[in-house]
Amino acid sequence: MDLVEKAKEAMGGVEKFFAKLPGIKGYREKELRREADKRLRTNLARRLGTQRRRLSALQLDLLKAGGLLWMDDLDRAVGKLQLLIDRINTAAYGYAPFFDLERIKEEELDRLAQFDQTLFERVPDVAGGVDGVAAAAAANEDIGETLGSLMETLVELNELFSQRDEAIRQLETGY
């Protein structure tokens, strides 16, 4: 069951009644899609924030163990992850006013939600990258390689999010 269907099931009786009224139904469906996407992005940002905190803690641990050589690389990884979190937290989610029902279609909102779902599915890649850096730091070997791999993942995710931003711009401008 997708997020929109879950949101529909969570509606109260009065909401369900008004959602069936002509002219309101399409608007409410779009609002449910927007709300579901917003919740998904909030959850995504929270989970990525957990990984950022783990990486920051790892940075301190490595510094205490004399791993000054890797501080710049770790700081860049933390920064790249924080950038992604900030972009997710402040992202537009396809808003269109009530009287502009035709502007953004449900399929387009679903496409935006798919970008967010794809990002959500990649959170384990970030967690695995942080795990890899932690293991490499504990063993004091291959730190550069594991950091490089984590950075590649973070760059990919930021690029994917840029594609989402481009899709929204196309929706807003019509081209």
pLDDT mean over 150-169: 89
Alpha helices in the chain (DSSP H): 3-10, 13-19, 25-64, 71-89, 106-121, 123-139, 143-173
Average pLDDT of the residues in 38-47: 92
Nearest partner of 76 among 98, 55, 107, judged by Cα: 55
pLDDT tens figures, 57-72: 998 888 887 777 888 9
Report the half-sphere exposure of 56 (CA within 13 A, side-chain side).
Answer: 11
List the one residue out of 68, 10, 37, 53 whose CA is nearest residue 164.
37
| pLDDT at site 95 | 46
Rounded alpha-carbon distances, angstroms, from residue 25 to 13, 35, 38, 49, 118 = 14, 15, 20, 36, 28
**Which residue from 5, 72, 61 is spatially nearest to 32, judged by alpha carbons?**
5
% of residues, the chain, pLDDT over 90: 42
**Separation between Cα atoms, residue 155 and residue 84, nearest integer Å:** 9
What pTM, to 2 d.p., does this model score?
0.73
How many whole angstroms separate alpha carbon 49 and alpha carbon 168? 24
Write the CB contacts of 154 (distance below 8 Å, at least 6 apart in sequence): 77, 80, 81, 84, 126, 129
What are the C-alpha distances in Å from 58 to residues 29, 75, 77, 132, 170?
44, 11, 12, 11, 40
pLDDT digits (tens, 9 = 90+) for 84-126: 999 999 886 554 443 344 455 667 777 777 888 899 999 999 9
